[in-house]
Structure 1
Amino acid sequence: LILFLLIHHYTKWWTFTVHRRPLQSPSITSQELFRLGIIQSDHNLSFLVFSREREREREREMTELAHSPIFTYASMLTLFTLCPPFVILLWYTLAHQDGSVTQTYGFLSKNGVQGLIDVWPRPTVIAWKIIFCYAAFEATLQLLLPGKRVEGPISPTGNRPVYKANGMAAYFVTLATYLALWWFGIFNPAIVYDHLGEIFSALVFGSLVFCILLYVKGHVAPSSSDSGSCGNLLIDFYWGMELYPRIGKNFDIKVFTNCRFGMMSWAVLAVTYCIKQFETNGKVSDSMLVNTILMLVYITKFFWWEAGYWNTMDIAHDRAGFYICWGCMVWVPCVYTSPGMYLVNHPVELGTQLAIYILVAGILCIYINYDCDRQRQEFRRTNGKCSVWGKAPSKIVATYTTTSGETKTSLLLTSGWWGLARHFHYVPEILGSFFWSVPALFSNFLPYFYVIHLTIMLVDRAMRDDDRCRSKYGKYWKLYCEKVRYRIVPGIY
């Protein structure tokens, strides 16, 4: 498991450093540029040449960061090979092997590859129906529910995506509809749990086809100039072709995969596990209640802050490929919900006092995580003209140049939560995940797999974000790091 996580970490790291070029780079003369009205003087032409040289210099810098292609390709192929069976084995271990890794290991040691084939559920009609109904419902809500117009960050090519912020409404409509279907006897959520293996199996294959279609779309019908190929099919498929793929003008594919399919399924499955335990045992254990409440509080926080999420690396930097889309559509529903999946058949009675302690500690961590994001979002919204912990914020005014040669300005917050560490908000996020996992206590390791996975993922993200900002802001980022010395944990790391 640890080896798998390390491979996952380093594969993301290697692909991050690969240079990407535009899909089409036709040669064009200065006379044609004059005729098209793109430039009006030799000065403009000189500026374009300078911008192109600067872009080439940045490309050379990024290429120097790249690891050996052999390791990169081997790691990607390893992940393509390991991720699907890992999802199935995680479900199988939690649902049929009492959450014991040693029991599953013993079974596979005895039966080999045939054992994996035997336990791998075949996608069924009911599994596909559940997936398609859920996906269609969420897509409809994304399109039809009203929401505030929100602009995302300016992309490297100067584009600014526009979103409709209706995630919170979609979240409440989804949960209310799901509970109403159960309450009125129209649909029993326990059916979802009973067919969970088949659903995960269908998602494994269906999401792979989805990623292939995204790859083809990136080649034949990119939605914006924020798209391109590095010239390698494997890397393009893994990392993605488009930064902001859309169907038509209004349906953003990454918002759908990341938020409305992935994160929403987390909430739906958390409720599903709670209902399944109630129908099996006639009651819900306090451990399951703590787990479900904390997960729902966290997901509620996410959708409340969804517009802020559109400014993060997942949306504003990582392209729509296997890594992001397959991960959100398969990895999130399985791995992120795994503590609750374990508790369905392994209820733990914590006692009122311990349950309250864990619940309060978890909510506090989620609140701090939210307040970190709120603080930075307010700072950006007011252009630094706000109060941070009761006083004027400390900041660095940084300038950078886009790939089109346009100069932009950003404010880097160096006080409040963001003065403690450059990514301090990851600390309460990791602790929050621990508190919704710890109700399972310590009989088995697997309920804590998500905590370990999240820790490695966030450390990796912090490193990638630092490298991206160093490349973007240059001397200003160096000054920022001198002022905010620690990356994640104040005084330690």
Structure 2
Amino acid sequence: MGAQSELRQRKSTPANGFTPSEVGRKRDERLDKHEHYEFGGPWGVVAMMIGFPILMYYLWICLWFHDGKLVYPTSLDDVQPFLERMWDHVRTEASPNAYAWKVYSGFFFFQLFIAFIMPGYQQEGLPVPSLGYKTLMYKCNALSCLYVTMATAAILHISGIFPLTSIIENYGHLMTVAIIYSFAVSFGMYFISVAKGRQIRMSGNFFYDVFMGAALNPRIGSVDLKMWAEVRIPWNITFFLAVSGACMQYEKYGYVTPNMAFMCLATWLYVNACGKGEECIPQTWDMFHEKWGFMVIFWNFAGVPFTYVYSVVYMARHDPFEYKFSTPAYIALYATLLTAYYIFDTSMSQKSRFKMQTQGTFKWRKAFPQFPWGTIENPTYIQTEHGNRLLTSGWWAYARKPNYTADWVQSLTWGLCIGSASIIPYFYSVFFINVLIHRCGRDFERCAVKYGKDWDRYCEIVKYKFIPYVY
């Protein structure tokens, strides 16, 4: 049959769209086994586990103490003094002091506590091959938890118990505690998972398996730890760091710049999107395939919140006139963000709701904001030999990863909001595009194994990876 004849134009029903065939089961068995190393193997992941924290300290020092400029030894004789100065900054301004432990731990366990007690929307996930195609239920209450957190933070700030400006003021100390948490939880989850016999897809190399993770769906009661950590920790901290920067500006100047307000809006859009569309997350690669190891835990606990908002850190330490724009430039900046966010939000929604429609688990959830074209009526798709369906409608008719493209454009605006004042806030977009390209390659490789010739037919129909008619 030709590629076009494989397309089905009809409503997704609770048919066997997610019930794998015998061929599909054999392919899933292969995908649930370790076949080759990624990320450069054991040596590569060890280098990243050591290198990422060092890079975070270096970039923070450049922002905090060197006017946002990259610094380096000027000669061989300067190497040792340079390293001593770097260490002195870390030792004095980024020590894991008692205050940082209290703040980060309080936030961490408060998020875990309200995740347990707040009511939530119950969403059924995809069938998990390693669990015999059992589906797991996910309690989606991130949105209500977000607003409880915002209200609590407002009360603490107004009452003077915990001024939000203290988040930025203690940035280095909090970052160190976050890094310690990420290492402790990563290694702890590895040992717990192995002790309970819940490990899957293991390589046999200790450091590599800690990095990639041992367990797929670790839980404490009703809380899925992987989804909880992905939504509640990084993006909440990111948002409150932006708010902290805005509070600092207001206290110092009596106003908040459009640039800082932009970051408050951008981070709120992201954290709110994670909450109001949380029922879509169980349908994603992160929940369905990625294990909960250092790779994910480190970036959720420390990497994302303490590297993605470098523009906020810069603005909190510099005069607003150093990054002031013209009115047309501000309009263009905000318009780019909102356009990219709309495509990101609706493309994610289209894909996840299509999977839910196919599985027969889709229900309309009232959450703000809901955008037009978030759900595709009568979608086209390829019915695969595996048993799954590959969407070819909506944004997904133009590119295989339209959400990645829109997400990256958002990341770029987080650097553009300070213009050329410093290159360090562009770390997010530079790092992120490399992550997305690598992740895209991993995903496409997995899909080629999972779907075989059906994937080739899909690629003939949806030709472009990221940008329609370009790439």
TM-score band (shorter)? Answer: 0.7 to 0.9
Give matches, 1:52-91, under 5 Å: 63=35, 66=37, 71-91=40-60
- Could you give the per-residue CA deviations for residues 93-132 of structure 1, whole angstroms, max 9, x where no partner exists? 222211111x356598462432332121211000000011
Question: Residue 395 in 1 paired to residue 368 in 2?
Answer: no
Q: Which residue of 2 aligns with 1:143?
A: 116
Correspondence for 1:37: none
Alpha-carbon distance in structure 2 between the residues aligned to 1:306 and 1:89: 34
Distance in 2, matches of 1:316 and 1:56, equals 14
Structure 2 Cα separation of the partners of residues 389 and 161 of structure 1? 23
- Which among 122, 126, 132 is matched to residue 105 of structure 2? 132
Q: Return the alpha-carbon distance in structure 2 between the equivalents of residues 372 and 390 of structure 1.
A: 10
Unpaired runs of 5+ residues, structure 1, are 1-46, 401-408
Task: Classify the secondary structure of the residue corresponding to 1:377.
Answer: helix
Structure-2 residue corresponding to 1:306 = 278
Q: Distance in 2 between matches of 1:126 and 1:135?
A: 14
Q: Does 1:331 align with 2:276?
A: no
Give yes or no for contact 1:277–1:345 (8 Å, CA) kept in 2. no
Is 228-237 or 379-388 further displaced after alignment? 379-388
CA distance in 2, matches of 1:391, 1:189: 44
**Alignment partners' CA distance in 1, 2:334 and 2:31:** 48
Structure 1 residues 312 and 185: CA distance shift in structure 2, 3 A? same
Question: Which amino acid is 1:440 matched to?
Answer: I
2:261 maps to a residue whose letter is: L
User: Partner residue of 2:18?
Assistant: none
The residue aligned with 2:89 is 119
| Equivalent residues of 2:354, 2:376 under 8 A apart | no
- Letter aligned with residue 116 of structure 1: M
Distance in 1, Cα, partners of 2:56 & 2:426: 15
Three-state SS of the structure 1 residue aligned to 2:200 is: coil
Counterpart of 2:123 in structure 1: which amino acid? V
Is contact 2:309–2:414 with CA below 8 Å preserved after alignment? Answer: no
1:290-331 alpha-carbon deviations (Å, 9 max, x no partner): 122122122212221122123222222111111011111010
The structure-2 alpha-carbon separation of the partners of 1:438 and 1:187, relative to structure 1 and needing over 3 Å to count, comes to: same
Deviation at 1:437, TM superposition (A): 2.1
Amino acid at match of 1:344: A
Structure 1 residue 466 displacement after superposition: 0.9
The answer to whether the 8 A contact 2:73-2:82 is kept is: no
Alpha-carbon offset, residue 84 of structure 1 = 1.3
Could you say which residue in structure 2 is the equivalent of 1:369? Answer: 344
Q: Distance in 1 between matches of 2:263 and 2:227?
A: 26
1:12 match: none
Q: Distance in 1 between matches of 2:376 and 2:86?
A: 58
Partner of 1:453: 431
Taking the aligned partners of 2:122 and 2:426, their CA distance within structure 1 comes to 38
| Farther off after superposition, 375-384 or 446-455 | 375-384
Structure 2: tracts of 5 or more residues without a match: 1-20, 363-372
Q: SS of the counterpart of 1:357?
A: helix
Cα distance in 1 for partners of 2:421, 2:266 equals 21
Query: Structure 2 vs 1, CA of residues 129 and 465 (structure 1 numbering), >3 Å: closer, same or farther?
Result: same
RMSD: 2.8
Output aligned runs, 1:191-340, within 5 Å.
191-222=166-197, 227=200, 229-247=202-220, 249-340=221-312
Q: How far apart, in 1, do the equivalents of 2:163 and 2:223 lie?
A: 30
Q: Do residues 430 (structure 1) and 430 (structure 2) align?
A: no
* Counterpart Cα distance in 1 of 2:340 and 2:428: 17
Change (3 A) 1:252 1:391: closer
Identity across matched positions, percent? 25
The equivalences for 1:31-110 within 5 A come to 63=35, 66=37, 71-101=40-70, 103=71, 109=79
* Alignment-derived partner of residue 34 in structure 1: none
- Superposition deviation, residue 82 in structure 1: 0.8
Instruction: Answer whether contact 1:384 1:411 (CA < 8 A) is retained.
Output: no
Partner of 2:440: 462
CA contact (8 A) 1:211 1:325 kept: yes
1:86 CA displacement: 1.3
Aligned-pair CA distance for 1:66? 4.6
1:344 counterpart residue number = 316
1:213 and 1:78 mapped to 2: Cα distance?
A: 20
Paired residues of 2:399 and 2:467 also in contact (CA < 8 A): yes
- What code does the residue aligned with 1:285 have? T
Aligned letter for 1:209?
Answer: A
- Partner SS state of residue 470, structure 1: helix
Structure 1 contact 288–343 (Cα < 8 Å) conserved: yes
Matched residues, number: 430
2:101 aligned counterpart, secondary structure: helix
- CA drift of 1:58 comes to 6.3
SS in 1 for 2:129: coil
Tell me the distance in 2 between the aligned counterparts of 1:479 and 1:189.
53
After superposition, the Cα gap between the structure-2 partners of 1:392 and 1:59, relative to the gap in structure 1 and judged at 3 Å, is closer
Change (3 A) 1:323 1:389: closer
The structure whose RCO (Cα within 8 Å, separation 6+) is larger is 2
Q: Is the 8 A contact 1:295 1:436 kept in 2?
A: no
Instruction: Show the counterpart of 2:138.
Output: 163
What is the alpha-carbon distance in structure 2 between the residues aligned to residue 485 and residue 474 of structure 1?
A: 16
Q: Distance in 2 between matches of 1:56 and 1:306?
A: 28
- The secondary structure found in structure 2 opposite 1:395 is strand
SS of 1:283's partner is coil
Q: Give the 5 Å matches for 1:175-194.
A: 175-194=150-169
In 1: Cα distance, 2:374 partner to 2:234 partner: 33
Over 3 Å counting, the alpha-carbon distance change for 1:54 and 1:295 in structure 2 is closer
8 A contact 2:404–2:466 mirrored in 1: yes
> Which residue identity does 1:418 align to in structure 2?
W
